[in-house]
Amino acid sequence: MRAANSRLNRLLDLMVNEVTVYAECQMEHIKRLAQIGIALSAEKDIDKLFELIIDEAMDFTNADAGTLYVVNDAQTALEFRILKNRSLNTHMGGTSELEIGLPPVPLEIDGLPNLTNVSSYCAQKARIVNIPDVYEAAEFDFTGPRNYDQKTGYRSKSMLVIPMTNHDNIVTGVLQLLNAKDLVNGQVISFGKEYVELISSLASQAAVALENAHLIHELKALFEAIIKSMASAIDEKSPYTGGHIRRVTELTMMMASRINLTEAGPFAEVKFSEDQLEELRIAAWLHDVGKIATPEHVIDKSAKLETVFDRIELIKTRFQLINSLRENAAVNEKLALASEGQLSREKAAEIDARLAAEQLELRQCLTFIVMHNSGSEMMGEAEISQMQKIAHRTYQLNGETHPYLSDNELENLSIRRGTLTLDERKIIENHALVGINFLNQLPFPKKLARVAEYAGGHHEKLDGSGYPYGLAGEQLSLQARIMALADVFEALTAADRPYKKPMKLSMALTILEKMCEQNHIDRDVYQLFLACGLHMEYAEKELRRDQIDIS
């Protein structure tokens, strides 16, 4: 009796132990599934997500190989996204950067569902397929695995094919596992039923995570397209500003990327994260978005007298009129003297000489006006005084006295440098504040929270003399300082501005050096710009050959 009880107790102990081990194993699987779910939800990189899905599925089932298919956008085929085989040390697709090179599996053939291919069947029927030995399975065409085995010497045997179904019960992909192995002896065995539900759960989590990742990717693509559309809208207003935006963005990111590689100096400890680089890139693309509200004739003012058109043509016509009036006056004077019998040869010559002197003066005045209308010449006090004298000269028309130049024409022609009046410059400068206000209204995610700050700070100067807020010193982020340098350098060297000649590279660097001395731009950023040869890299790509006068 005691012996029987002893055997019963041992049996009960064994059963309890096995149940305990089984329960612990199941709890461990459930715990692992929860951890995988969290990891899948956190991963946004599509290729890394593919890797995670296939690796976890193979680990769960101790599978030797695995393939992940994704339904294409047209819903017509299963595309290979990742293929792994541990025995053959094969890894294609995913993060491997190796193309799989196999044709997609069609979901339909001749308008009918493709049910002969196991992966297509799984996707069409949304059913799990568990095959102990593919060589003995007659319901599917396994020509592909057989050919693969023949080429590689591999032996495909057990197979588990599971649909990846999202929360709308739509199959978005297929997970195919091959050759489950016994943990003790390593022999290929069938996929146990206890793993099917676990892998199904994993596949469902993976499908939802994949859908979320695709959604995020599509939203980012949409966001990117909207940003590019804004730049294109500005480009339509001004082809010069459009090119400027692209070039400033590229130059800004060149400098930021180079700072990340710096191991010594003031930027040795600075390392921009991927999110920070993305934030800066978006800000660079949007840095001139405020110019959408700036009148085109101000943005592209190529001459001092230009509004919707260049008023120099009106002045040329006016001077032709004045010249004609002078000629008519000379003719009338001769006719009057002749009618009185007082027109002598000497008197006629005197009138002609006076007319010639007046015409010469008119031509000189007009030449002076045309030369200084371009804005390419600096105007000092002498030139402004001369312009005022011209403006205050008068002519008579229909009994009324008119000046050579109107007050507005004189104001524009007296601009000392460039083509913009003080009021027009304020309109241009206002684009920074307009851009900030515009961007602050957009609900940027947290990782892009400082886009408006960086975009709006590209005209600020370290000494506080910039705009729109007059920020100075540490009030300016490194990102804004980088963009400020990129903005100035691009503007100096741009060859497509209608109001100035392309500047030589050496002159642009001289100006940047002076701006460093005046504490307008960051010297550390400028020194890195030079030391890393970014000025030459940019010049070779964007400048005309005749602008590059240094090596």
pLDDT in tens, 430-448: 888 888 998 999 888 899 9
Residue 44's pLDDT is 60
Position 19 scores a pLDDT of 47
| Same domain? 439 vs 530 | yes
- One domain for residues 346 and 290: no
More confident of the two residues 277 and 378? 277
Calculate the average pLDDT of the chain. Answer: 85
Mean predicted confidence (pLDDT) in 50-78: 89
pLDDT at 273: 94
Q: At what angle do helices 312-339 and 345-373 cross, to 10 degrees?
A: 170
Least confident range from 78-82, 102-106, 224-228, 390-394: namely 224-228
For the ranges 90-104, 294-308, 344-358, which has the lowest average pLDDT?
294-308
Tokens 């000494």 map to which residue?
463
Same domain, 406 and 427: no
The whole-number pLDDT of residue 41 equals: 54
- The verdict on residue 455 lying in a domain is yes
With cut-offs at 50, 70 and 90, classify the pLDDT of residue 23: very low
| Contact call for residues 333 and 350 (beta carbons, < 8 A) | no
pLDDT digits (tens, 9 = 90+) for 478-495: 999 999 999 999 989 988
**Quick check: 156 pLDDT over 90?**
yes
Strand bridging mode 171-181 / 188-189: antiparallel
16 inside domain: no
Rounded to whole angstroms, how far apart are CA atoms 11 and 259?
70
Under the banding of pLDDT at 50, 70 and 90, the label for residue 529 is very high
Q: Give the pLDDT of residue 37.
A: 54
Higher pLDDT, 343 or 316: 316
Structural domain ending residue among the three candidates 419, 453, 485 = 419
Domain with residue 130: its CATH number is 3.30.450.40
- Amino acid type, 217: H
Q: What is the pLDDT of residue 29?
A: 52
Q: With a cut of 70, say whether residue 127 has pLDDT above it.
A: yes
Mean pLDDT, to the nearest integer, of 337-364? 88
Last residue of a domain, one of 367, 388, 419: 419
Indicate whether 16 pLDDT > 60. no
| Cβ–Cβ under 8 Å, residues 78 and 119 | yes
What is the per-residue pLDDT across 272-299, written as a single tens digit (0 to 9) for each?
Answer: 999 999 999 999 999 988 888 777 777 7
- Residue-by-residue DSSP string for 194-244: HHHHHHHHHHHHHHHHHHHHHHHHHHHHHHHHHHHHHHHHHHHH-HHHHHH
Spatial neighbors of 423 by CB under 8 A, at least 6 apart, are: none
What is the predicted pLDDT for the residue at 21? 45
| Spatial separation of the C-alpha atoms in residues 217 and 172, rounded to whole Å | 16
Residue-level pLDDT at 298: 75
Q: Are 368 and 379 in contact (CB under 8 A)?
A: no
**Side-chain half-sphere of 261: how many Cα atoms within 13 Å?**
10
pLDDT of residue 177: 95
Tell me, yes or no, whether 103 lies in a domain. yes
Q: Which of 546, 547, 515, 549 is nearest to 529 (CA)?
A: 515
Do the strands 108-109 and 105-106 form a parallel or antiparallel pair, or are they unpaired? unpaired
Are residues 494 and 390 part of one domain? Answer: no
Write down the pLDDT at residue 227. 84
CB atoms within 10 A of CB 106: 14
Residue 3, domain member (yes or no): no
Using one digit for the tens of pLDDT, what is the confidence trace for 157-182? 999 999 988 878 889 899 999 999 98
Band (pLDDT 50/70/90 cuts) for residue 364 is very high
Q: Identify whether residues 164 and 277 lie together within a single domain.
A: no
Region 410-425: mean pLDDT is 85
pLDDT at 196 (0 to 100): 81
Q: Which of 377, 403, 419 is the last residue of a domain?
A: 419
For the ranges 314-323, 470-479, 493-502, the lowest mean pLDDT is seen at 493-502
Asked if residue 12 belongs to a domain, the reply is no
- Region 316-324: mean pLDDT is 92
**Count of the separate structural domains present in the chain:** 3
In this structure, the answer to whether residues 412 and 435 fall within a common structural domain is no
Q: What is the pLDDT of residue 12?
A: 59
Q: Which of 115-119, 226-230, 520-524, 526-530 has the lowest mean pLDDT?
A: 226-230
Same domain, 338 and 363: yes
Provide the residue range defining the domain that includes 370. 312-419
- Is the model more confident about 13 or about 395? 395
Residue 523 CA to residue 267 CA, distance in Å, equals 12
Judgement on whether residues 40 and 173 belong to the same structural domain of the protein: yes
Q: What is the pLDDT of residue 38?
A: 54
The whole model's pTM is what?
A: 0.65
The per-residue pLDDT for 22 is: 45
User: When comparing pLDDT for 91 and 236, which is higher?
Assistant: 91
Domain containing residue 439: CATH number: 1.10.3210.10
Please give the DSSP secondary-structure letter assigned to residue 136. Answer: G
Cα distances (angstroms) measured from residue 255 to each of 140, 212, 252, 360, 531: 57, 33, 5, 55, 11
* Omega before 468 within 30 of 0, i.e. cis: yes
Report the first-to-last Cα separation within the chain, whole angstroms.
Answer: 103
Residue 446 inside a domain? The answer is yes
Residue 470 CB partners (closer than 8 Å, separation 6+): 460, 464
User: Which residue in this structure is represented by tokens 């392309």?
Assistant: 502
Q: What is the arithmetic mean of pLDDT over 34-58?
A: 69
How confident is the model over 325-347, as pLDDT tens digits?
999 988 988 888 888 888 888 88
State the Cα–Cα distance between residues 293 and 428, nearest whole angstrom.
Answer: 10
Same domain, 188 and 68: yes
Q: Are residues 389 and 469 in the same domain?
A: no
217 or 407: which leads in pLDDT: 407
What's the burial of 434, exposed, middle or buried (CB within 10 Å: 0-12/13-18/19+)?
Answer: middle
Of 494, 487, 505, give the one whose Cα is nearest residue 546: 505
CB 94 within 8 A of CB 82: yes
How many residues are recorded in the chain?
A: 551
Residue 94 lies in a domain: yes
> Does residue 231 belong to any structural domain of this protein?
no
Could you tell me if 334 and 429 lie in one domain? no
Max avg pLDDT among 13-22, 30-39, 238-247, 272-281: 272-281
pLDDT of residue 9: 60
Nearest to 481 by CA among 494, 465, 468, 462: 462
Could you tell me if 320 and 286 lie in one domain?
A: no
**Positive or negative CA dihedral for 267, 269, 271, 276?**
negative
Q: Which of 404, 413, 406 is nearest to 326 (CA)?
A: 404
Q: What is the mean pLDDT of residues 403-430?
A: 86
